[in-house]
Amino acid sequence: MSKETLEIIEGSGNVFRDLGMEDADLRQLKTLLAAEIIKILDEHELTVREAAVRTGFAAADFSRLRNVKLDRFTVDRLMTMVNKLGQDVSVQLSFRPRQEQAANAHI
């Protein structure tokens, strides 16, 4: 084994932002909602078909969520799915300048 020194970099809390993706905040929110839906399905041992019957959404939608294929989903659709699975959603927003823009701000 090599004794190479590794640099540890603290993340922002949003892996998509850390990877430099433009739509990082949207991706993070959709991912968190999808993870909650999957958690509910697992806790209640629901198959995708049972979830479809319970919510009125297609079983294919739940399969896409389990496979983390989120491009077809909007935030409001994911929130509605969470609601139909018997959970309320509470959102807290905070706003701050982006780090790379904060240094150049002339406001």
Q: How far apart are CA 80 and CA 18, in angstroms?
A: 28
Q: How many CB atoms lie within 10 A of CB 51?
A: 24
Q: How far apart are CA 75 and CA 91, in angstroms?
A: 12
Q: How far apart are CA 52 and CA 63, in angstroms?
A: 10
pLDDT at position 15? 92
pLDDT at 9 over 90: no
Average pLDDT, whole number, for the chain? 90
Directed axis angle between helix 75-84 and helix 48-55, to 10°? 90
pLDDT at position 97? 87
pLDDT at position 68? 93
Q: Domain map of the chain by residue range?
A: 20-83
Superfamily name and number for 20-83: lambda repressor-like DNA-binding domains (1.10.260.40)
